[in-house]
C-alpha cells in the first residue's frame, strides 16, 4: 500500500510538472531523493520516462480535433493543414531524437544529478523573466499554428535539444522560451510544445523499453502495477493542469514560473550543500 501511495504521488508530480515549464524530470529526480520507490535501479530509469505516457495521453484527448489529420466528411477526409503541422513537428523533433538515440546513457550518467538540475532550473528561470520583459510591448509575429514555418519549427527543435541534454531545463520550458524568443505568441508556443511532446515522449519511452528488454531486465508484477498507477494518475492530473495553463496564459505571462524555478534551484543547491557537509 505504501508503494502504491508513492506511485500516486509521483503521478501527481508528473502530471503537474510535465506541462508547467518547471521541469518534470528535474522534479522527479529531486522527489526521488526524499521518496524512493522500492524498485530496482533499472526499473526506476524506465519508470521515470514511461510514466510520461500517461501525461501525453491527456494532450491527445484534449486536442484530438487539432491533431487528428482525418476528417469525417468525404470532402474533408484528409486535413492537409494538420498533416503539414505534423511534418513541422517531426522537423522540430529531429535534433533531440538524434542526440537521444546516440547519447542517452552518457547524458544520464553526466547530468542526472542535483547540481545540473539546480543550474538548469535557475538559468532558464532567469531566461523566462528576461524574455517576457523584452516581449512586454512587442506584438508576436506568429499568432496561429499555421504561421509556424519549417525554419521556425527547426529553431524550436534546437531549444528542445537543450532540454534533452540537461535535466531540469524542462522540455516545455525550453521550447516555450525558444518560441517566445523568435516571436511566437504564448498560446501558439504552448500548443506547439504540447503537440511536440507526443512523438518525443512516445519515442523516448520506446527507447527506454527497448534498452530495458535488450539489457535482459524484467519487472515484477508489483513494479508493473506501480507504473500503470503512476501513468493513470499522471493522465488525470495532466487534463486538469493543461486546461488551467491554457486559461492562465491568456491573461498572464510566464514570469511567475521563472521566479519559481530560481527559488527551487537555489533550494536544491542549498540542500545539496548540506548533504555534502
For the chain, which residues make up each domain, given as ranges? 2-276
| pLDDT bucket at 113, cuts 50 / 70 / 90 | confident
| pLDDT bucket at 191, cuts 50 / 70 / 90 | very high
Q: Determine the average pLDDT of the residues in 242-246.
A: 95
Q: How much of the chain, in percent, has pLDDT values that exceed 70? A: 98
pTM passes above 0.75: yes
pLDDT of residue 131: 92
pLDDT of residue 19: 92
pLDDT in tens, 208-223: 899 899 989 888 899 9
Q: Determine the average pLDDT of the residues in 110-132.
A: 87
DSSP string, 58-123: HHHHHTHHHH--B-SSSTTSB-HHHHHHHHHHHHHHHHHHHHHHHHHHHHHHHH-SHHHHHHHHHH
pLDDT of residue 75: 65
DSSP one-letter code for 142: B
pLDDT in tens, 21-75: 988 877 887 788 788 888 888 898 899 889 999 999 999 999 999 999 888 776 6
pLDDT at 184 over 70: yes
pLDDT of residue 190: 94
What does R_g of the chain's alpha carbons equal in angstroms? 19
pLDDT of residue 236: 97
pLDDT at 157 over 70: yes
pLDDT of residue 156: 94
Q: Determine the average pLDDT of the residues in 273-277.
A: 77
| pLDDT bucket at 115, cuts 50 / 70 / 90 | confident
Backbone phi and psi for residue 70, each to the nearest 5 degrees, phi listed first: -120, 135
Amino acid at each position: 500500500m505504501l508503494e502504491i501511495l508513492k506511485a500516486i504521488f509521483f503521478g501527481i508530480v508528473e502530471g503537474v510538472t510535465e506541462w508547467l515549464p518547471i521541469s518534470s524530470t528535474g522534479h522527479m529526480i529531486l522527489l526521488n531523493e526524499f521518496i524512493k520507490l522500492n524498485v530496482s535501479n533499472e526499473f526506476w530509469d524506465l519508470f521515470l520516462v514511461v510514466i510520461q505516457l500517461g501525461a501525453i495521453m491527456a494532450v491527445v484527448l484534449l486536442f484530438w480535433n487539432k491533431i487528428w489529420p482525418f476528417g469525417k466528411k468525404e470532402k474533408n477526409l484528409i486535413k492537409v493543414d494538420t498533416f503539414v503541422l505534423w511534418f513541422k513537428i517531426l522537423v522540430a523533433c529531429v535534433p533531440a531524437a538524434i542526440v537521444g538515440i546516440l547519447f542517452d546513457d552518457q547524458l544520464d550518467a553526466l547530468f542526472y544529478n542535483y547540481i545540473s538540475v539546480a543550474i538548469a532550473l535557475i538559468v532558464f528561470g532567469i531566461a523566462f523573466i528576461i524574455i517576457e520583459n523584452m516581449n512586454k510591448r512587442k506584438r508576436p509575429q506568429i499568432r496561429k499554428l499555421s504561421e509556424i514555418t519549417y525554419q521556425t519549427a527547426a529553431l524550436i527543435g534546437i531549444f528542445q535539444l537543450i532540454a534533452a541534454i540537461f535535466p531540469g531545463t524542462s522540455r516545455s520550458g525550453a521550447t516555450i522560451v525558444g518560441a517566445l524568443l523568435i516571436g511566437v505568441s504564448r498560446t501558439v508556443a504552448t500548443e506547439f510544445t504540447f503537440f511536440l511532446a507526443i512523438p518525443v515522449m512516445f519515442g523516448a519511452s520506446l527507447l527506454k523499453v527497448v534498452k530495458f528488454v535488450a539489457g535482459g531486465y524484467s519487472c515484477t508484477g508489483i513494479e508493473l502495477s506501480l507504473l500503470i498507477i503512476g501513468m493513470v494518475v499522471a493522465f488525470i492530473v495532466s487534463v486538469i493542469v493543461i486546461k488551467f495553463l491554457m486559461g492562465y496564459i491568456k491573461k498572464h505571462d510566464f514570469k511567475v514560473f521563472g521566479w519559481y524555478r530560481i527559488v527551487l534551484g537555489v533550494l536544491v543547491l542549498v540542500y545539496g550543500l548540506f548533504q555534502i557537509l
